[in-house]
Structure 1
Amino acid sequence: MTFKEEIKRRRTFGIVSHPDAGKTTLTEKLLLFGGAIHVAGAVKSNKIKKSATSDFMEIEKQRGISVATSVMGFEYKGYKVNILDTPGHQDFAEDTYRTLTAVDSVIIVIDAAKGVEAQTRKLMEVCRMRNTPVIVFVNKMDRPSRDPFDLLDEIEKELNIEVRPLSWPIGNGPDFRGVYNLYEQNLYLFSPNKQVVEEGISLEVSDPNLEKEIGESMAINLREELELINGVYPSFEEAGYLAGKQAPVFFGSALNNFGVRELLHCFLEIAPSPLPSTAEERQVNPEEEKFSGFVFKIHANMDPNHRNRIAFVKICSGRFARNTNYKHVRLGKQMKFSSPTAFMAEKKSIVDEAYPGDIIGIPDSGNFKIGDSLSETEDLHFKGLPSFSPELFRYIENADPMKSKQLAKGIDQLMDEGVAQLFVSQFNGRKIIGTVGALQFEVIQYRLLHEYGASCRYDPINLYKACWLEAEDEAQLADFKRRKHQYMAHDKSGRDVFLADSAYMLQMAKESFKGIKFHFTSEF
């Protein structure tokens, strides 16, 4: 297969949603259809002892939620599919935002009973910033749910995007019979099965056997609704979808395998193959011969038996080859990698080569930070991997003086992962952890104890926002730092950060020091 054909057959996408909309269950079922796994595990680990393939951290299995993005790749009908399952919980939103920089398209999962929720709106804004193509999957139709037409209106209004249904539910709740595939113009009837995929039967909507299969009233209803859809909604336009202006909508029940096949088949046909990436220097095209890529995530201790860290690299251009020298742009040194891996959640296999759109894992002994670039020759700095200003802050203290070394190492590695941000006060030298959500403090404490054997405790600190500073007038910046000495800190890269303790204080600082810019993300 030629280099260009390898690129064209790749589909790299993220699955995002509000917590508990069934995102991880959908990921499982896509893997099941792709033949990557043979039995699906429910995410709620108390019901079925096998937990979901994509939730592999111990804390995820205990709580039944995803706290870190996991990457899974599989081959299906000649396509190479790379799925990134992201955390839905808003406390881990930063991991999700960064992951969206590494995908070419997105599937948004919506709960059929709850409709569009707060986190879904936020994630859609991130997709809109980058014009990422979006497909919507309305899940849990096997439970009592809202009217499909009402849901479509809400999606259009709340997510501010034109919608076009490409599959349509037949009944809902206990009467849910399956979905009609508008894209292929046929009906697949499955018997509901949570664990394995069975062959369905295929029918046209005009087929007289339709009444036999789903009952007379449902058949009449389906024909009327399909007529209405074709009259009311614009026809599907691939160009509109690829530009992020039109969202195809699919209905189904991921748990019972309804509607997943329709979603996967249509997605593979219409979703974009790897797109160009934006670097500070220029636009990087996937077809370029020279290899380049960037680190969008770092995960420590994926294998608790070996204290290993893995840097997740999205390949942007060229062909990546094992045991070849590539330049680490920030450090300015050549590195070669003997055991790059491909993922199936926590299962890894060594790869000899990878192509644009693929995500590979590189074992890391502390050389990488989020946002780092690798390149064959050129110095490229890829854009769009910011650290957001945290909203919650606590002092972190060592609870076991005998383990101070382990604690320092643990904090260092977890902060490199982007789990949270570390600031060191210039006033008293104490370490301050800043997070986007409260649950992150628990995760840090849990992981420090279980992965590094270090126990910590938190002390309260009253802060409002962390701001990165930029000033052309060095004298004014020095004056500001002197006056606000007790509120100044360094971030992990040694940059000055102003920790404002209230909105009023921040406003006053902005008014008093007009020559200083206050940034709420580290990328400026």
Structure 2
Amino acid sequence: MTTVNIGILAHVDAGKTSLTERLLHTAGVIDRVGSVDRGDTQTDSHELERQRGITIRSAVVSFTVGDVKVNLIDTPGHPDFISEVERALGVLDGVVLVISAVEGVQAQTRLLMRTLVKLRMPVILFVNKIDRMGARYHELLDEIRSELTPAVVALTRVEGPGTPGARAFARTVGTDDPDFAAELADILAEHGDDFLARYLEDETSLTAQDYSAELARQAARGQLYPVLFGSAVAGVGIDALVDGITRLFPVNHGGSGGTLRGTVFKIERGWAGEKVAYVRLHGGELGSREKVSVFRRDQHGAVTEIPGRTTVVEVFDRGSAVVESRARAGDIAKVWGLKGIRIGDRLGSAEGLDGEHLFAPPSLETVIRPSRPSAMPELYDALLQLADQDPFINVRKDDEEQEIAVSLYGEVQKEVIAATLADEFKLDVAFEGTRIICVERPIGVGESVEEIDYRSKTFFWATIGLRVEPGEPGSGVVFRRSVELGSLPHAFHKAVEEAVRATLQQGLNGWEVLDILVTLTRSGFASPVSAAGDFRKLTPLVLMNALKQAGTQVYEPVNRFELEVPGENASAALLSLVECGATPESTRGLGSSCLVEGTIPARTVQEFEQRLPGLSQGQGVLVTRFHSFQPVVGAAPRRRRTDLNPVDRSEYMLRAFGRI
């Protein structure tokens, strides 16, 4: 049996989860279509998802069409949970991007489509809700071409859009739609030289099968994007969508050969608190009670191999049900027994570990405290478990101040974390105000050396010299040596590099230091008394002294925004944007609405979001995404340190030797 793994993506409220229910019902997996409003859908199984009516965690369901098994991942539509979408995209063969026939292309739709085009991901655009009042057909197709991509072809036509009796009919070559062949030929010829040559030689020799085969080839390569219309609630157009999923997306033919290659894209906890990994297999096989190598890239960039053994391996069967079975290439499996497993790990092979992030990490953070001070250890443990499911929350603990900070994409995510802690861990918590996450970059060159002093008391049996200077934009932290590799034991070299990277998590103002080049210029040790710990403890002092000489500039995150408001409210919205420090760059009409694009400091996004309902009679839609870091104007914001504070030598020495 062949397998295809698809994801359903959309702007919030476009009908993703309802479409998933309808697909399961059409395939005979469920007897009754669940409702988001009733809270009885297959994929929104979490109590909080049912209460809020939104998808928070990606969920996997399966159904079979003929000899094709479809594994479907339903992803969140709210931008606060974009990290869930990123993890899903790495394991998919194709995407169904859902668009509302009424609201049309929205800000989040544009963000998602840009990412999918960049990935050359096969995409079917499904226009939902054609039976809703205000639904559009020709006008919406023009909007899709102008707002998303011109490389689209409508495979269905709609009769009676915007009425309860709306129907979608397939467009095929050689039937009662004479314009379809010419329209399809134009779009296919743009990306298919062989097809173009045959068409120019004798277009009458091309059969409907030729058109269909070329369409499937180009759609599977992400060169063009079929558009289908329908209604998930009414079940209209679903058969055409099912046919498109099995015919236009690349399928996996399974088989038991090849090296094991798998990607961990989701972690959840079992009933006993054990980790359960969701794994997409790209090659080979995986079964229960088998040894498996887990590969991951550590914070220093090195690939490490961790031995493990599975206890149970299950594959998705019908709906959300799973059965114990050997997983083969193309399958999505739930794996028990790999205790230290993390999201992003690779099984069997390190291939794919170098993949870049599709979306920017969170640019906000907040301090979270338990209502009972004695519950701090419980809270920390609970947040670490949540970080298994979403590593981007980046839990940071300050033992001295007795506080824990987490990173966020937005305020809705904060509400979800609080509700999850209350429901699953029985912890009542409070949040401090949300603040932005800045970074620091060096602005000059600094150098520092500390040597072993044999004539007086020495605290560290190590000689270290470091030079810091600005690195290439986007380079992060680059560490290199100008000393001979054999001048120190390998363990000492490794201790210095690890300490450099760990120390630069907090710069002179407490923010992570990026785009910096650190060079080891001096090294020495005293055998046999020197130990790796001497180099690990001395490095932060030398590094921070060099960084003081170089100086740093604090940069704040700036977001790119897309704001859609009614035309009559555009002037007020623009004025408010400017008051919040935004820079509007373009303004254009979208029917009765106005689309404004530009940049806005991340620190003022929440303020503008609070103003927006009043500015737009509740009809405004704002979507932001990280754009860049820009220098802070005025006094640089500082963040409290959570390390031993190597900026202050006296305090560091007292802490390092346990005096404080």
TM-score with structure 1 setting the length: 0.75
Q: CA–CA distance in 1 between the matches of 2:22 and 2:505?
A: 54
Aligned length: 441
Deviation at 1:274, TM superposition (A): 3.6
Structure 2 residue matching 1:98: 3-state secondary structure = helix
Asked if the contact 1:339–1:362 (Cα under 8 Å) also holds between the matched residues in 2, the reply is yes
The Cα of 1:322 is off from its aligned counterpart by: 2.1
- Please say if 1:179 is aligned against 2:168: yes
| Aligned equivalents of 1:332, 1:76: Cα separation in 2 | 39
Of residues 125, 141, 150, the one that matches 2:130 is 141
For residues 305 and 60 of structure 2, what CA distance do their matches in structure 1 show? 28
- The verdict on how the C-alpha distance between 1:182 and 1:503 changes in structure 2, with shifts beyond 3 A counting, is closer
C-alpha deviations, 1:241-292, integer Å up to 9, x for none?
12212111111111010100111023212210149xxxxxxxxx98852211
Are the equivalent residues in 2 in contact too, given 1:393–1:433 (CA < 8 A)?
yes
Are the structure 2 counterparts of residues 344 and 479 from structure 1 closer, same or farther at C-alpha, using a change threshold of 3 Å?
closer
Aligned: 1:67 with 2:56: yes
Whether the 8 Å CA contact 1:414–1:420 is kept in 2: the answer is no
Contact 2:315 2:325 survives alignment (8 Å): no
| Change in CA separation of 1:407 and 1:230 when aligned onto 2, cut-off 3 Å | same
**Offset of 1:487 from its aligned partner?**
2.9
1:390 partner SS: coil
Per the alignment, in what secondary structure is the counterpart of residue 109 of structure 2?
Answer: helix
CA separation of 1:78 and 1:346: change in aligned 2, threshold 3 A: closer
> Which residue does the alignment assign to 2:511?
487
Which deviates more, 17-26 or 437-446?
A: 437-446
2:477 corresponds to 1:470: yes
Q: 2:5 aligns with which of 8, 12, 25?
A: 12
Superposed displacement of residue 332, structure 1:
3.0
Deviation at 1:382, TM superposition (A): 3.2
**What is the rounded CA distance, in whole Å, between the counterparts of 2:138 and 2:262 in structure 1?**
42
Query: Residue 69 of structure 1 contacts residue 84 of structure 1 at CA under 8 Å; is this kept in 2?
Result: yes
CA distance in 2, matches of 1:132, 1:324: 33
Q: Is the 8 A contact 2:421 2:427 kept in 1?
A: yes
Q: Map Cα deviations across residues 40-83 of structure 1 (whole Å, 9 max, x no partner).
A: 111112xxxx5111100000010111111100112221111100
- 1:449 equivalent to 2:422? Answer yes
Match of 1:410 among 368, 371, 382: 382
Partner of 2:101: 112
1:196-230 per-position Cα deviation (integer Å, ceiling 9, x unaligned): xxxxxxxxx7xxxxxxxxxxxxxxxxx6xx34444
Q: Distance in 2 between matches of 1:295 and 1:154?
A: 37
Please list, as runs of the form range in 1=range in 2, the aligned pairs for 1:170-209 lying within 5 A after superposition: 170-174=159-163, 176-183=165-172
Distance in 1, Cα, partners of 2:421 & 2:503: 38
Report matched runs for 1:36-435 at 5 Å. 36-45=29-38, 51-174=40-163, 176-183=165-172, 226-233=177-184, 234=187, 237-274=215-252, 289-300=258-269, 306-330=272-296, 332-343=305-316, 347-363=320-336, 366-375=339-348, 378-384=349-355, 386=357, 388-418=360-390, 420-424=392-396, 430-435=403-408
Contact 1:424 1:489 in 2 (8 A): no
Task: Read off the aligned partner of 2:326 and give its amino acid letter.
Answer: E
Letter in 2 for 1:353: R
Seen in structure 2, the aligned counterparts of structure 1 residues 264 and 404 have a Cα distance that, compared at 3 Å, is: same
Deviations 1:442-469 (A, max 9, x none): 1111111211222222122532446894
Taking structure 2 as the reference length, the TM-score comes to 0.61
The residue type equivalent to 2:268 in the other structure is: H
Q: 1:181 to 1:394 in 2, by over 3 A?
A: same
Moved more, 459-468 or 439-448: 459-468
Greater C-alpha radius of gyration: 2
User: Compared with structure 1, are the counterparts of its residues 175 and 53 closer, same or farther at alpha carbon in structure 2 (3 Å cutoff)?
Assistant: closer
Q: Report the AA paired with residue 218 of structure 2.
A: G
Q: What's 2:206 paired with?
A: none
Kept in 2, the 8 Å contact 1:71–1:345? The answer is no
| Cα deviation, residue 19, structure 1 | 0.6
Contact 1:396 1:456 in 2 (8 A): yes
When residues 379 and 270 of structure 1 are mapped into structure 2, their CA distance, relative to the original with a 3 A threshold, is: closer
Where 1:102 maps in the other structure, the secondary structure is coil
Task: Name the counterpart of 1:198.
Answer: none
Question: What's the % identity of the aligned pairs?
Answer: 27
Which amino acid in 2 is paired with 1:463? I
CA separation in 2, counterparts of 1:174 and 1:479? Answer: 63
Partner secondary structure for residue 407 of structure 2: strand
1:502 correspondence with 2:556: yes
Give the deviation of 1:110 after TM superposition: 0.5
AA partner of residue 141 (structure 2): L
User: C-alpha separation between the residues in 2 aligned to 1:136 and 1:346?
Assistant: 23
Contact preservation (8 Å) 1:135, 1:248: yes
1:472 Cα deviation after fit: 3.3
Return the offset for 1:383.
3.9
Shift of 1:18: 0.4
Residues 390 and 465 in structure 1, CA contact (< 8 A), matched pair in contact too = no
| 2:439–2:513 Cα contact (<8 Å) kept | no
Whether the 8 Å contact between 1:183 and 1:266 is mirrored in structure 2 is: no
What code does the residue aligned with 1:300 have? R
How far apart, in 1, do the equivalents of 2:252 and 2:180 lie? 32
AA matched with 1:320? L
Matched residue type, 2:479: E
Whole-Å Cα distance in 1 between the matches of residues 287 and 338 of structure 2?
A: 20
Q: Alpha carbons of 1:110 and 1:404: their partners in 2 closer, same or farther (altered >3 Å)?
A: same
Q: Secondary structure, in 3 states, of the residue corresponding to 1:238? A: helix
**Larger RCO: 1 or 2 (CA < 8 Å, sep 6+):** 1
Distance 1:481 1:442, change over 3 A: closer
1:184/1:438 CA distance change after superposition, 3 Å: farther
User: Once the two structures are superposed, what CA deviation does each residue of 1:67-122 show, in whole Å capped at 9, x if it has no partner?
Assistant: 11100112221111100111111111110121011101111110001111111111
Q: 1:478 to 1:507 in 2, by over 3 A?
A: farther
- Tell whether 2:17 aligns with 1:24: yes
* Separation in 1, partners of 2:421, 2:291: 34
Q: C-alpha separation between the residues in 2 aligned to 1:36 and 1:57?
A: 20
How many Å separate the matches in 1 of 2:37 and 2:422? 24
CA contact (8 A) 1:425 1:489 kept: no
SS of equivalent to 1:137: strand
Q: Within 1, Cα distance between the matches of 2:15 and 2:239?
A: 16
Once residues 57 and 387 of structure 2 are traced to their aligned partners in structure 1, the CA distance between those partners, rounded to angstroms, is: 14
Aligned partners of 1:325 and 1:479: how far apart in 2? 36
Change (3 A) 1:508 1:22: closer
Structure 1: gaps of 5 or more residues: 1-5, 186-204, 206-222, 276-284, 491-495, 510-524
What is the Cα deviation at residue 333 of structure 1?
Answer: 3.6
- Is the CA contact (8 Å cut-off) linking 1:67 and 1:92 kept in structure 2? yes
